[in-house]
Each structure stands twice: as structure tokens, then as C-alpha cells.
Amino acid sequence: MRKALKRIAVFIVIVVLLLAGGGWWLITYIEPDEALTMNYEPISVKDKALNMIKNLKPELVLTEADINNLLKMHLSESSEPLAPDTTLDGAAFELEGNRLIARLNVTYKDRVPAQLQAEYKLEWQAPNIVLRPRALTVKEVHLPLRLLETQVIPLDLPQQDVVTVQDVQFSGDHISILFKLQLKLNF
């Protein structure tokens, strides 16, 4: 009987050690590889558009840096978390045509840091850019897409009586917004 209890105790200790080791490995595996921040430079799309109108250029170009700042500004001001029990610690965004690749450093339940990569499809729904989730991974491991929600990024463009958006093009590392100027002349 004593021998059986000793074997059970050894078995339990080995299982606990394996579980602890596996948990430690998992936490170190998913932790962020790079330090990302939520620092951004405030950007006013409206001011950029008004400057474009002053110069009589019918196109507003938002660079990858502009989009990075705009998204960080939106996420910082948003009261809703990225996902339940998750805190967003840092982010970096890359444009690839009509796709947006987001590298996100998050902390789950204030304890487990992880680096996620999310892929979104960019769409134009006047006057906003809409980010529709396409994929979510943590270190090449696919996570359920239901963990991400569609994000709506308001652009705050000038009033519709001055300009209207004619077309939006997602190309390479920038977004081009083509305007149609509506000049009203009073004689």
C-alpha cells in the first residue's frame, strides 16, 4: 500500500511540474518580441483636407504614418477594450493595399503579456474607414476571429457642401481620397 501511495505522489509531482513548465513555456512563447507603444502624433484629417482644397488639389493622401497615428489616436480615445479582459499596451500598423496588418502588444487579465497579429480588410463607408477582421494570430497560432470586432475610424472630413468624396483608393502604403470640389459662384 505504501509503495502505491509513493508512486501516486511521484506521479502527481511529475504532472504538476510538467504543467508548470508547460505554462511557463507558453507564457514566454506568446510574450511580445518587440516593444510597441501607443504614442502618436495628433492628426487632423480635416485640416489636411482643407489644405488640399486651398491648393486646389482634388486628392488627399493618407500615408502609412498618418494611418498609424490616426488608428492609435482612435484606439486611445475609445472607451471599449480591444477584447474582453484585454488591455492594449502598444500597436504598429502596416498598409498593404486594402489590407491592414496590425501588430498588437496586449495584456490579458493584467497578467499575461502577448503579441497578436491581426489582419483587417479596409473599406470605405462615407465618411469613415471601416476595418473588417480577416485573421488573428498569436505567434503563428490562429485564434478565433470572433475575438475581434469591426472597427469604424471616423475621418472628420470637411462639410459636404464644399467637397464630396468621389473615390477612395487603397494602394500600397497609402490611402488616396479623391474629392470632387463643389464651388458655388454667386453673381
Q: What is the DSSP letter of 109?
A: T
Question: Using one digit for the tens of pLDDT, what is the confidence trace for 82-126?
Answer: 677 888 889 999 999 899 999 999 888 888 898 989 999 999 888
pTM: 0.77
Q: In angstroms, rounded to a whole number, what is the distance separating the alpha carbons of residues 121 and 97?
A: 9
In this prediction, residue 162 has a pLDDT band, given cuts at 50, 70 and 90, of low
Alpha-carbon distance of 7 to 5, in angstroms, equals 5
E strands present in 97-173: 99-108, 112-125, 128-138, 141-142, 151-154, 163-171
